[in-house]
Each structure stands twice: as structure tokens, then as C-alpha cells.
Amino acid sequence: MNINCMILLIFFLFYDNIIPTSGFIYNYYEKVKCSYYECCNDDYIPQNALELHRLLSIKMFGQKIATDSISRAVYAHTNADNTPKALAMSFHGTSGTGKTFVANMIGETFYKKGYQSQYFHFINGRSDLTLESESERYKEMLQKKIIQGLLECPKSLFIFDEIDSMPAGVLNVLVPFLDYGKPRLWSPHSLEKRVETRKAIFIFITNAGSEQIVERAINLRDSGKLRNDTTLADYEDVISVQAFSENGGFHKSDIINNNLIDHYVPFLPLEVQHIKLCIDAAFRIYGSIPTIKQIDEVLSHLKFGPEPLNLYSQSGCKRIETKVASIVYKRRFHNEL
């Protein structure tokens, strides 16, 4: 490249509001820029659904339905030549069953920078959207955030965690982004904008329907159906009905009413056998293989329910890492005395 082009390139890199729009200089500008900054291209967004399935199969315990359903849905969405709408999935289940873990894992396998990517958007209902009196402001904020995110990169991932803590109606603003085709949106100056939504993924995480999932799991077990033989169809109906009627972000939601959630994914309550696998994995993080005594020590801190069977951990795998860390460092502390 000659010296004049180099000077122009440097000028463009330093002044982001003046960017070449076509030709050789633009292509070179993009190439250089993307070697230093994250860009919305295949190099930075591999969207590796097969790697996602591999990691979930290794790191998730007792969640065959979730692992298979999510992996297939993501693979189909990212490999379709002309997907009709954004992929919308809703994750339901009790605390500690892996809902947020899976959402973050999707970010890790989709983006070169993982969940540190600028195209990975995480909104927490408990900390960001809690006041009913602020509902209109929340709607405006969400709309702006999503439009800006999609304009920057159509392959954005939007995760809404703890939506059961959000005011009812706030999520209705998402309907145009989850519907079929490109939504027509208007700026404050009445200028029409179109944004590409069909390549995006929206994930909703909630405890809504947890009790019904546990109840259905027990009923299926009592009927003789093995856990690994249950399917998404065994749970989807009860989840969608409960999410629509339960207080929170999905309460009487237009998203559900308009059938815009593609998959309601149950995260089943975890049994003792799954908790033991979580404990073993937590010890191995510290380079340690747990003894039976150590596993039992961690289990002694956990509560199981519902009575009288007490089949499932009430906190899933959520509290295990801190208990394991305490045991590991207690042993190291005594060894150094």
C-alpha cells in the first residue's frame, strides 16, 4: 500500500466518526481494525454449536433434556441459511441446576472473547429492572440497548436473568425483536429504522415453574419412566402455562401469548448422584481427588426435598464450590502449621 493510503488509514483509525464506506481502502481499514478490535465477523464469532454440546455433555450433570434441546436448537439456528426469526429460549428450574451456567457457556463457545465480548449482553432482573414504578423507563432502556446491539452486530446474544424479579409487562417491548421478519422501528426524530433480528439469540432465565417441574419429575418417576427417558415434551406445557400465570416478567406476557418463545427448557432438580459429580468436579478444580469422607462432608451441608422422599437438592450445585474450597484450604492450612 502506498504512503497516501497508509496516512488515510491511520486518520480513519483515530477518528471513528469518519470511516471509509467502500473500495480497497475500506477493506484494508476493516482488516487492520479487526486485528486490534473485536468485529462482527466469523473470526470473532465462530458460533461453535458442536463445541457447546461437547462442553455441556462434560460439565453439566443430570440435564440431558437441557443439553440436547439447547444444543440442537442453537445448531439449527446458526446453520440455517435463512432463519425466519431470532432464536428465543426460556430456561426454567430450581436454583443451582445450571441455567445461568449454560447461558454463559453459549457465550463462551459463540464468541472468541467469550462472555467478555461486546456482543454478549447480560441483563439481570434482580439488580437492573426491579421497580414497577420505573417500568416505562425500563422499556425504553431495553429497546435502545437491543437496537444498538443489533446495529453493531446482528449475531448478538441477549440474556435476561432472574426475570421473575422483573415487573410484569416490561418484556413486552421485546416482541418486535422476537417476531418474524425485520421490525420497523422509529427513532425519536420519527425516522424509520430496520434492524436485523433473525440472527440474534434471546435467552430468558427464571425460577418460574420450578415447583411444577419438580412435581412433574416425581410423577414421571412414580409412573416408572426413567429420568434419562423423559423428553422436552414431558415438561414444556406445564412450564409455559405456569410462566404466563406466575408473577414476574412473563406474567400475562405478550411474548408468550404470541408464541414467540421457541423452546421452554426444563432444568431438572438434581439428585444425590448428580450432586456427587458436582462435588468431584469442584475438588478437581483445586487439583484434588475427593475421598468418600470429604464428599459426605459436603453433602452434610446440603438440604434435600421435598418431603417425604427428599430426592432433590434444594440448592442444586450452587453452594458446593464454597464448601469444597473451605475443605481444601482447611487441609492445606493444617499441613502448613
| pLDDT (tens digit per residue) in 40-61 | 999 999 999 999 999 999 999 9
Query: Which residue, of 247, 267, 287, is where some domain finishes?
Result: 267
- Give the residue numbers spanning the domain of 18: 3-36
Q: What is the pLDDT of residues 54-110, one digit of tens each?
A: 999 999 999 999 999 999 999 999 999 889 999 999 999 999 999 999 999 999 999
Confirm whether 42 is domain-assigned.
no
* Count of alpha carbons within 13 angstroms of residue 176, beta-carbon side: 17
214 in the same domain as 106 = yes
The residue ranges of the chain whose pLDDT is under 50 are none
Q: What is the pLDDT of residue 187?
A: 53
Q: What is the pLDDT of residue 334?
A: 60
Q: What is the pLDDT of residue 193?
A: 66
57 in the same domain as 21 = no
112 in the same domain as 11 = no
Q: What is the pLDDT of residue 11?
A: 54
The string over 148-186, giving b where at least 16 C-beta atoms fall within 10 Å of a residue's C-beta and e elsewhere, is ebbeebbbbbbbbbbbbbbbbbbbbbbebbbbeeebebe
163 in the same domain as 210 = yes
Please, what sign has the CA dihedral across residues 37, 42, 44, 45? positive
328 in the same domain as 284 = yes
26 in the same domain as 162 = no
Asked if residues 119 and 155 have their Cβ atoms less than 8 Å apart, the reply is: yes
Q: What is the pLDDT of residue 189?
A: 55
Mean pLDDT of the chain: 89
80 in the same domain as 30 = no
Q: What is the pLDDT of residue 33?
A: 74
262 in the same domain as 311 = no
pTM of the predicted structure, to 2 decimals = 0.88
144 in the same domain as 14 = no
